[in-house]
């Protein structure tokens, strides 16, 4: 396929957006998407709340949706935002957890405005080498690069780790300086998916019986901020796993025992610091699943996808708006 610059698609990179967010004490939402309904809900929520937004796709999402279709969906997202009345949409198309130089290059060549190279499972020096190579290519096209240092618990696409290894603050200056990356994803206790902590790591609320997870390592975040003042920090694995969705899913044929996420109060605190990008995927999956399960429980005879995907899209939009306004604080920042 012919190379295309994100600028031709009306997208922006993360540079100015992050600088503003760090200064302003808020974070930019980074929502994963795989389907048209997710994309529409993200754009509607961003336009209504006047928020900049990062639409991100994993390697798996590229495979699911097809890279060419995604490029047109991103272009469509910008045009749709304008159609909804936003004069100057600030939309980033970002590769989430890029696993090789080749994947990052392919995304840059196909209109992405930002890429993540996830070398977090590599030894420190190899992570630097790979990240530096991606930065050199990306910066030629004014594409911004997110790197990762420290390993999150759980599964990160094809990068897996049995336990969480917090980012070492003493490594961040060398890493950022040698790689030239534009932002850094760190590990302070978040993880991917809907089961972020084992029940034995949590306490239980005696009234509700719900699990209360342990706090994030804010001391590590503070130490990193001190080493790299003003440098954009990213948090992955930041879904809160809303218990109302878990309940709806479990009451309508689903089975998500002891699903638990990061409390929103912890994320609000992080968003006010140097954390300027917060990744949310699982919560949108839960919103969609809860809405679809509830719909089918009430309407067993229906089979037109628009009938059940419509309410799912509406629920995701509600969720995205809630995150933007009540958690990240990125509303009214266009």
| Active-site residue set | 96
Q: How many other C-beta atoms can be found within 10 angstroms of the C-beta atom of residue 151?
A: 21
Q: Which two tokens stand for residue 244?
A: 């109302």
Q: Which of residues 31-50 bind ligand 13P (CB under 6 A)?
A: 32
Q: Assess contact for 63 and 26: CB atoms under 8 A.
A: no
Report in angstroms how near the CB of residue 281 gets to Zn ion at its nearest: 7
Nearer to ligand G3H, 154 or 213 (CB): 154
- Collapsing DSSP to helix, strand or coil, 231 comes out as coil
Instruction: Indicate if the alpha-carbon torsion angle 62, 65, 67, 71 is positive or negative.
Output: negative
Q: Which of residues 233-262 bind Zn ion (CB under 5 A)?
A: 236
239 binds, among Zn ion, ligand 13P, ligand G3H, none (CB under 5 to 8 A by kind): ligand 13P
∠270-271-273 over CA atoms, to 5°? 70
180 binds, among ligand G3H, Zn ion, ligand 13P, none (CB under 5 to 8 A by kind): none
Report in angstroms how near the CB of residue 124 gets to ligand 13P at its nearest: 21
Kindly indicate which of the ranges 65-73, 223-231, 237-245, 303-311 contains the residues binding ligand 13P, using the contact rule CB under 6 A. Answer: 237-245
Q: Assess contact for 259 and 154: CB atoms under 8 A.
A: no
Q: What x/- string results for residues 244 through 283 when contact with ligand 13P is judged by CB under 6 A? A: -----------------------------------xxxxx
280 binds, among ligand 13P, Zn ion, ligand G3H, none (CB under 5 to 8 A by kind): ligand 13P
- Taking CB under 6 A as the criterion, the residue among 38, 95, 96, 120 binding ligand 13P is 96
Kindly indicate which of the ranges 62-70, 133-141, 197-205, 235-243 contains the residues binding ligand 13P, using the contact rule CB under 6 A. Answer: 235-243
Q: Does 192 bind ligand 13P (CB under 6 A)?
A: yes
DSSP structural state of residue 305: H
Q: Which residues bind ligand G3H (CB under 6 A)?
A: 32, 58, 60-61, 96-97, 156-157, 192, 281
CA dist 152 and 7 (Å) reads: 33
Nearer to Zn ion, 65 or 334 (CB): 65
Q: Which of residues 219-238 bind Zn ion (CB under 5 A)?
A: 236
Q: What is the secondary structure of 142-158 as a DSSP string?
A: T-EEEEEESB-BEEETT
Beta bridge partners of 195: 260
Nearer to ligand 13P, 32 or 179 (CB): 32
Q: How many other C-beta atoms can be found within 10 angstroms of the C-beta atom of residue 58?
A: 20
- Collapsing DSSP to helix, strand or coil, 317 comes out as helix
Q: Assess contact for 328 and 278: CB atoms under 8 A.
A: yes
Report in angstroms how near the CB of residue 260 gets to ligand 13P at its nearest: 11
Q: Does 239 bind ligand 13P (CB under 6 A)?
A: yes
Q: Does 60 bind ligand 13P (CB under 6 A)?
A: no
Strands (E) in the chain, as ranges, are 28-32, 53-57, 91-98, 114-117, 144-149, 154-156, 159-161, 183-186, 203-204, 211-212, 233-235, 275-280
CB burial class (10 A; 0-12, 13-18, 19+) of residue 143? buried
Q: Does 94 bind Zn ion (CB under 5 A)?
A: no
Report in angstroms how near the CB of residue 282 gets to ligand 13P at its nearest: 4
- The helix (run of H) or strand (run of E) holding residue 121 is none
Nearer to ligand G3H, 47 or 93 (CB): 93
Q: Does 237 bind ligand 13P (CB under 6 A)?
A: yes
Q: Assess contact for 249 and 289: CB atoms under 8 A.
A: yes
- The residue nearest Zn ion at its CB is 236
Of 216, 220, 226, nearest to 191 by C-alpha is 216
Task: Give residues in contact with Zn ion (CB under 5 A).
Answer: 236
Binding site for ligand 13P (CB under 6 A): 32, 96-97, 192-193, 236-239, 279-283
């Amino acid at each position: 396929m012919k190379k295309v610059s994100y600028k031709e698609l009306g997208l922006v990179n993360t540079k100015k957006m992050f600088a503003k967010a760090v200064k302003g004490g808020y974070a930019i939402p980074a929502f994963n998407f795989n389907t048209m309904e997710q994309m529409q809900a993200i754009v509607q929520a961003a336009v209504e709340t006047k928020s900049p937004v990062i639409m991100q796709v994993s390697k798996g999402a590229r495979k699911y949706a097809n890279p060419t279709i995604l490029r047109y969906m991103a272009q469509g997202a910008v045009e749709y935002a304008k159609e909804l009345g936003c004069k100057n949409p600030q939309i980033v198309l970002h590769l989430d957890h890029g696993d090789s130089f080749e994947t990052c290059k392919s995304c840059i060549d196909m209109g992405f405005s930002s890429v993540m190279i996830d070398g977090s499972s590599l030894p420190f020096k190899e992570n630097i080498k790979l990240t530096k190579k991606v930065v050199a290519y990306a910066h030629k096209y004014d594409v911004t690069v997110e790197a990762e240092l420290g390993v999150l618990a759980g599964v990160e696409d094809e990068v897996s780790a049995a336990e969480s290894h917090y980012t070492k603050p003493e490594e961040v200056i060398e890493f950022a300086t040698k790689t030239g990356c534009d932002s850094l994803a760190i590990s302070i206790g978040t993880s991917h998916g809907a089961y972020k902590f084992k029940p034995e790591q949590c306490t239980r609320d005696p009234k509700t019986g719900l699990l209360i997870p342990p706090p994030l390592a804010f001391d590590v975040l503070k130490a990193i901020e001190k080493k790299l003042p003003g440098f954009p920090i990213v948090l992955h694995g930041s879904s809160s796993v809303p218990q109302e969705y878990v309940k709806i899913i479990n009451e309508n044929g689903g089975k998500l025992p002891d699903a638990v996420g990061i409390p929103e109060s912890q994320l609000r605190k992080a968003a006010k610091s140097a954390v300027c990008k917060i990744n949310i995927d699982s919560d949108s999956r839960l919103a969609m699943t809860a809405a679809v399960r509830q719909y089918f429980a009430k309407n067993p005879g229906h089979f037109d996808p628009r009938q059940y995907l419509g309410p799912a899209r509406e629920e995701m939009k509600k969720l995205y708006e809630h995150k933007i306004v009540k958690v990240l604080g990125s509303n009214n920042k266009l």
